[in-house]
Chain A
Amino acid sequence: MAGSNQPLNPNDSKMVVPLNMWVLISNFKLAYNLLRRPDGTFNRDLAEFLDRKVPANANPVDGVFSFDVIVDRETNLLTRIYRPVEGDENHVNIVDLEKPVTAEVLPVLVFFHGGSFAHSSANSAIYDTLCRRLVGICNAVVVSVNYRRAPENRYPCAYEDGWKALKWVSTRTWLQSKKDNKVHIYMVGDSSGGNIVHHVALKALDSEIQVLGNILLNPLFGGEERTESEKRLDGRYFVRVKDRDWYWRAFLPEGEDRDHHACNPFGPKGRSLEGVTFPKSLVVVAGLDLVQDWQLGYAKGLEKAGQNVKLLFLEQATIGFYLLPNNEHFSLVMDEIKQFVNFDCS
């Protein structure tokens, strides 16, 4: 307990992010602190109470409308679908919600929100806003998956939900691009969502489903070893190592350590991706994120296995930089994402 009683110096983080972003992320940090219990349980009621949620809206706002679909009744797996309006409509009929896509090529982004496997939902305001932005930037349909969370639902629930959602998306005829009558799927995720992207892509390997690309924003990876970045940045930019440890304990099967392949995919218990047709990957790493060594290690692991990976290292970025658009990292990353998913569009 001794280490945790050091006062956190807020000056570090305040210097590198705009004030409103500092307030936003600090507010989350504070709230999350109240929710994690030392015995590994989670105050879910208070978490749901504190989380700011927004309903779907089939009336377009800034050219985007959304609606929720239950993809699997048994587990109540919900996805929120965001679509761009076509033309000048400001009114969308219920019939139009699943109207077939008219574009020659339309990217469909299957999105997994972050929250370290325990926090947030598809209808959390921060993620609803982010998904809407992605629609506009990429001219894509975004499908945000409301996967089951830890600690109530440990590994592999989130991956199974992701896989179900991916399968569902791939079989929607109304999402097919006109060019080849196929659904052009990319997977995007931040934090735990990034981790889920990797593992769902693994599941897809043994199937007919083709994922055109993976986009991982500050993905959550880890391992038993304490890396240099974890030691150097512990507690300095909103996150402490012990917080990360708590979330892994909450997500991984009981008794497993952080070298479990879910946490450490290129570690001692990981799966080799050599010779495998893995989707091309865009990995975004924030230079002030304490788990960056693991994220960089992930990108290297892909590279070593001969996979197509682009690494975007943002030196002065912190966790959550993509939640608000008022920083240069945001625009940079969004541009990269746009190029990444429009690569095969003429």
Chain B
Amino acid sequence: MEIEIDSVSSPSKVKEIDGLLADVGYKVKSSELHQVAQNIERLENVIVNSSSSDISQFASDTIHYDPSDIGNWVDNLLSEFDHTNSLPYDFSQLSDLAQDQHHHHHHHHHQNHQLKVVTTVEEDSAIKLIHMLMTCADSLQRGNIQLAGSLIEGMQGLLTNMNTNSGIGKVAGYFIDALNRRIFGQNNIIHIENDVLYHHYYEACPYLKFAHFTANQAILEAFNGHDCVHVIDFNLMHGLQWPALIQALALRPGGPPFLRLTGIGPPSHDDRDNLREIGLRLAELARSVNVRFAFRGVAAWRLEDVKPWMLQVSSKEAVAVNSIMQLHRLLGSEPDPNNPSAIETVLGWIRSLNPKIMTVVEQEANHNEDGFMDRFTEALHYYSTVFDSLEACPVEPDKAMAEIYLQREICNVVCCEGPARVERHEPLIKWRERLGKTGFRPLHLGSNAFKQASMLLTLFSAEGYCVEENQGSLTLGWHSRPLIAASAWQAVPETLRFDH
């Protein structure tokens, strides 16, 4: 398989992509149009000479990747077709998850970011409320604390006449509360452990299940053919992600590998060792399905405090690094020209582990803008949609706890600044850029992962959840708004990378 060395994204390279096709969602280099057209013709001829039922079966069975890259998609189909029509086995056609590195050029992005809104409010009081919220945020940004404070009083008054059990009343309530805290610094925090809230959030809606499921799929495929595998989980919590992987590995054709799991998490207070307890439970499960298993807990308050030697990675292992909503927490470090930032440091040592795969799941939102108004507006839209989707959940106390879990996020986005603000969500577009620059290339999630994620969703009675393909990554959203994005990465080998 050839690796394309495409190191620099200079302006002249940007112009290479056909602009009109880019406007409608496709990436094709102008210089390659003829070649792509020829391959389309070849594929058409192939299809025309097959029966319709063969074609649809073939289409179902093949795994498709990144349809926006028409050239690659067609090539893939051509080689798959050759394959299934029993040509002599050709090692150069080995299907491999790793794809060539693609730079996605946004030559058409005039705007700073996208503001995705689903469903707007109808009632007068709701409109008034939102207006006041925006004005309050604006006055805060300008430093007019007095006005902000009086607006908060006004909004709290409005709320007493509104339905705060659902819809805009509920979400607005949380944002008003967050603004209140930002101004007056109240400290009536609800004392429920974060991992407990997380567990209920996991139960109440499909976002975390989707994250775990999609990441596990990718990890499973990456571990194909390896006898010693090591998963590094950046946030173990209750280890909810791992029973499914353990079971899938147990059922693997050829038998399970030796699985090591390293779980990172905050140190436990009191005398308990939470990490170890979770590890023991997972070990029990692994034993019951005959998977050789070893667990190690690494206690650290912050991811940037973890050093690679703590993970004890051996060169014989296939390593998977799994980050579910953790990378964004590293974006808040103070910029220091002499020292690499937290995110650079961590991504650096991840690369040094040479992982077979790094699975990254992040909120699909732009909550890391410096400007308070921008952040506030984005967050209001985002969490309104999330809460809207939560209303479909009938189960208590999952739903109530999930709301508290989200409220904490909202508070962090709205009230905190500097290193205290850890909920620095950034959208897929930005993560692609950042990971591309730090020496990672995307491993595309294909139509099989998409199909299975969609099937997972049908287990939920609420219609409205939507899986979408986004240039090799998958997103899960509510109606037309993606809310969480799952992607997979591999480190580009050092020798093939040009630093710039």
Contact = CB atoms under 8 A, between A and B. Distances in A.
Interface in B111-132: 111-121, 127, 130-131
B26 A24 contact: yes
A75 to B, nearest CB: 9
Contacts of A326: 20
7 contacts: A23-B36, A23-B37, A27-B40, A38-B56, A48-B467, A70-B118, A94-B117
Interface stretch (B62-70, B90-98, B298-306, B322-330): B62-70
Secondary structure of the A contact surface, majority rule: mixed
B23 interface: yes
Contact of A80 (B55, B64, B134, B480): B480
A61 B479 CA distance: 22
A55 interface: yes
Given A33-B55, A59-B112, A94-B381, A19 B481 contact: no
Given A37-B53, A43-B59, A68-B480, A49 B44 contact: no
Contacts of B58: 34
A125 B25 contact: yes
B87 interface: no
B37 A30 contact: no
A33 to B, nearest CB: 6
B33 A58 contact: no
B404 interface: no
A58 B115 contact: yes
B41 A10 contact: yes
Nearest to B22: A125
Contacts of A53: 25, 468, 480
B464 A30 contact: no
B479 A68 contact: yes
B285 interface: no
Contacts of A54: 25
Interface stretch (A1-9, A269-277, A279-287, A302-310): A1-9
A31 B127 CA distance: 44
B450 interface: yes
Contacts of A48: 450, 454, 467-469
Given A10-B41, A68-B117, A324 B48 contact: no
A323 B24 contact: yes
Contacts of B18: 20
B342 interface: no
B56 to A, nearest CB: 4
Chain A interface size, under 10 / 10 to 19 / 20 to 34 / 35 or more: 35 or more
Contacts of A33: 47, 55
Contacts of B37: 14, 19, 22-23, 26
Given A27-B70, A59-B112, A76-B479, A49 B120 contact: no
B110 interface: yes
A53 B482 CA distance: 11
Contact of B56 (A22, A37, A78, A323): A37
B60 interface: yes
Interface string A45-63: 1101110111111111110
Nearest to B463: A76
Nearest to A95: B131
Contact of B480 (A7, A19, A123): A123
Interface string A68-91: 111000001010100000000010
A128 to B, nearest CB: 9
Nearest to A36: B56
Contacts of A8: 44-45, 48
Contacts of B463: 76
Contact of A20 (B28, B454, B468): B28
A58 B24 contact: no
A30 to B, nearest CB: 6
Interface string B49-92: 10111011011100010011010001000000000000000000
B479 A70 contact: yes
B67 A52 contact: yes
Given A94-B381, A325-B20, A78 B43 contact: no
A49 B67 contact: yes
Contacts of A23: 21, 28, 33, 36-37, 40, 70
A98 interface: yes
B104 interface: no
A109 interface: no
A152 B60 CA distance: 18
Interface string A93-131: 111011000000000000000000000001101100100
A155 interface: no
Given A24-B24, A129-B24, A93 B134 contact: yes
A61 B120 contact: no
A325 B19 CA distance: 11
Interface in B346-402: 377, 380-381
A69 B118 CA distance: 6
